[in-house]
Amino acid sequence: MFSYPSRSILAIISFFFLVATSTAAPVNYVVESGYPYLIENPPDDVRQLSWWELSLRDIIIFSLVAVSPALTYPLELFILVKMLLYSGYRHITDKTVLDNRMRLEIYSRIRDHPGTTAPIIAKDLDMNLGTVRYHLAMLQITRKITSISNPGFIAFFENPESRSILERKLLAHMRNETKVKIFQYLWQMPDSSRKGIADHLGLSGPAVTWHMNQLMDDLIIVTIRDGKCIRHSLNPEAVPVLEKYLPAMIPGD
């Protein structure tokens, strides 16, 4: 039991609490439409639908809401899944992904041209780039292809891929004409400087530097410092790959 002073203090606190709650600072709220304009005289064509004019889906949902609102979420989820299945999502599996003609063409292109890229595929097959990227995503999801990323492009390969990482990276770079010219030059003229490469190919110094940095990052080209000069050569491990895929690069062939 509270003592008399305690009850008095409690009563005073309760009184002020009720007064403060009931006399909260009045604020005038202005409600405005979020739309740029309002229709002042909307057409009076609204009519009440009968129960039997509703769709079967709406009838089921309204019935479940009347019984238990908590049942509506599982039902909506079930309907969504059914719609996705009906629209064809269930057909995209590792066994059926190549049933699509365009996807099969893209897959065949990657198999026959390892290291190709989405823009090259779109150009060669006369397809929309966005469509090609969508089908590439489906092929990757179903593990039909694999890819490696390089600055500025992504190269695709058939999966399973037996090639080494170095071989895949070199194949990807061989899709670039400038890099192929660099390979050809270094094949015939190892231990070359960047200036020598730039002069021979007729390219600017920064352009050659940009390509060379990518090739050095992927360990396709190695560098040797000769005093103040830095010389570049092909990685000996990359030479067999060049012999395999670019026989025309070998002098005398």
Average per-residue pLDDT for the chain? 76
Alpha helices in 126-221 (DSSP H): 129-141, 165-173, 177-188, 194-201, 205-217
| Cα gap 230→53, rounded to integer Å | 82
Q: Is the pLDDT of residue 226 over 60?
A: yes
Per-residue pLDDT tens over the stretch 144-176: 999 988 777 889 999 887 888 888 898 888 888
Q: Domain 97-162: which topology? A: Arc Repressor Mutant, subunit A (1.10.10)
Which CATH architecture group holds 169-249? Orthogonal Bundle (1.10)
Report which secondary-structure segment, H or E, holds 229: strand 229-234
More reliable by pLDDT, 229 or 46: 229
